Amino acid sequence: MTSINTASHGSNSVLDASALAGQLGLADTIVDQQALDNSVALCAKNNVLLPTFAQLADPSLIDANYAKGVDKNAPDAR
């Protein structure tokens, strides 16, 4: 069993890596390479740009030109 100690994050619990993957969907391995390749190809074809973790944490880091003309309340922001 691989475990992750969370003491550095302010708590003293130990998380089981298999629980992170199985229960929370936070797998750190590629389960289906073909599905990943297909997703990458579709994103590239449709000019999908995913934010970095830093941009998710601080959206002000995202260049405003990427969202220019997008209605954030539209059902499909394309």
**24-43 residue pLDDT tens:** 777 778 889 999 999 999 99
Mean pLDDT by 10-residue block, N- to C-terminus, for the chain (78 residues)? 51 67 74 93 92 90 84 75
What local confidence, expressed as pLDDT, does residue 42 receive? 96
Would residue 16 count as lying in a domain?
yes
CB proximity list for 77: less than 8 A, separation 6 or greater: 70, 71
Residue linked to tokens 């969907």: 25
Phi first, then psi, for residue 39 (nearest 5°) are -65, -40
Q: Which domain, by its residues, includes 15?
A: 3-67
What local confidence, expressed as pLDDT, does residue 43 receive? 94
Per the structure, the count of domains in the chain is 1
Please tell me the distance from the alpha carbon of residue 54 to that of residue 30, in angstroms, as a whole number.
22
Would residue 77 count as lying in a domain?
no
What local confidence, expressed as pLDDT, does residue 9 receive? 53
Would residue 47 count as lying in a domain?
yes
Would residue 14 count as lying in a domain?
yes
Q: Using CB atoms within 10 A of its CB, is residue 78 exposed (0-12), middle (13-18) or buried (19+)?
A: exposed
Would residue 74 count as lying in a domain?
no
Would residue 76 count as lying in a domain?
no
Residues making up the chain, counted from first to last: 78
